[in-house]
Amino acid sequence: MRYHYLFFLFVLPLVIVSACREEPVARQEAPDSLLQEAPAPATKVSDPIPLPKTGAGSFENLVADFESKDRGIWQKPNMVISLLGDLEGKTVADIGAGTGYFTFRMVPKAKKVIGIDIDQRFIDFMDSVKVRLDERYRDRFETRLAKADDPLLSAEEVDAVVLVNTYGYIGNRVQYLKTLWKGISPGGRVLIIDFKKNNLPIGPPDQFKVALSQVERELLTSGFSIDKIDQDALDYQYIILAKKPLKPQKNTN
């Protein structure tokens, strides 16, 4: 597992930098992702690697889990990001960013991406990648060490929020969403992706899973409207896309 950690900490950032310097900046076009993936070997996952159960274990193991090759198959990151629409000129917060699996895939598409986590180890990991990026991407990316009950966003700071494999670990979720609501600009979107409450070969135990219907209720209670619900696009997870209404409405604390 230590090999995986060293690869993502030292080798991968150098590969990214090398790729970004092949042509003069003026002639480059932004890639779809700073973390190019090898083509998936199959359309279905075989021998899937479980995600961390509770965040326990060595950091090397966490990195290996988060960056598993199989994850690109069942998580479909490019499809997931496309649900947010055109991110040009927008600021995005990736809450529970971890190793930056989604964060760095959004950097080429957005004006700014904030990788938010409550674990200093992941903040340090993302920062170690950031310093090796081409300057034009480095300036678009920021890490932020947040609190368990507060993502520490300024008022209307972001246009979109992504919470992937994170929602079930949030305590007092309605209050958290109300706090998050204040940090999103009117019309901004919240994309929540988490594991279905089924017997799945991957993902956390049931105590860290939240039923789709409950997530929907909590979003509505917190002042959001629901734009999209999809239980079929991902094999193991549901997708909820919500929006902060353009018109002001009551958002009680």
Per-residue pLDDT at 135: 87
Nearest to 113 by CA among 78, 75, 143: 143
Per-residue pLDDT at 74: 75
Per-residue pLDDT at 60: 65
Per-residue pLDDT at 195: 92
Per-residue pLDDT at 6: 38
Per-residue pLDDT at 154: 98
Q: Is 180 helix (H, G, I), strand (E, B) or coil?
A: helix
Per-residue pLDDT at 93: 98
Q: Is 0.85 surpassed by the pTM of this model?
A: no
The secondary structure of 129-147 as a DSSP string is: HHTTS-HHHHTTEEEEE-B
User: Which domains does the chain possess?
Assistant: 2-35+49-243 (3.40.50.150)
Whether residue 69 contacts residue 220, with contact meaning beta carbons closer than 8 Å, is answered with no
Rounded to the nearest 5°, which phi and psi values hold at 128? -70, -30
Q: Quickly count: other Cβ atoms within 10 Å of residue 102's Cβ.
A: 26
251's tokens = 């958002």
Per-residue pLDDT at 207: 80
Residue type, position 136, single letter: R
Nearest to 152 by CA among 128, 183, 123: 183
Rounded to the nearest 5°, which phi and psi values hold at 228? -155, 140
pLDDT in tens, the chain (253 residues): 333 443 344 434 443 433 343 333 333 444 555 654 433 333 233 233 333 333 445 656 555 555 556 675 778 999 999 999 999 999 999 999 999 999 999 999 999 999 999 999 999 999 998 988 888 899 999 999 999 999 999 999 999 999 999 999 999 999 999 999 999 999 999 999 999 987 777 767 778 899 999 999 999 999 999 999 999 999 899 999 999 999 765 554 5
Per-residue pLDDT at 49: 30
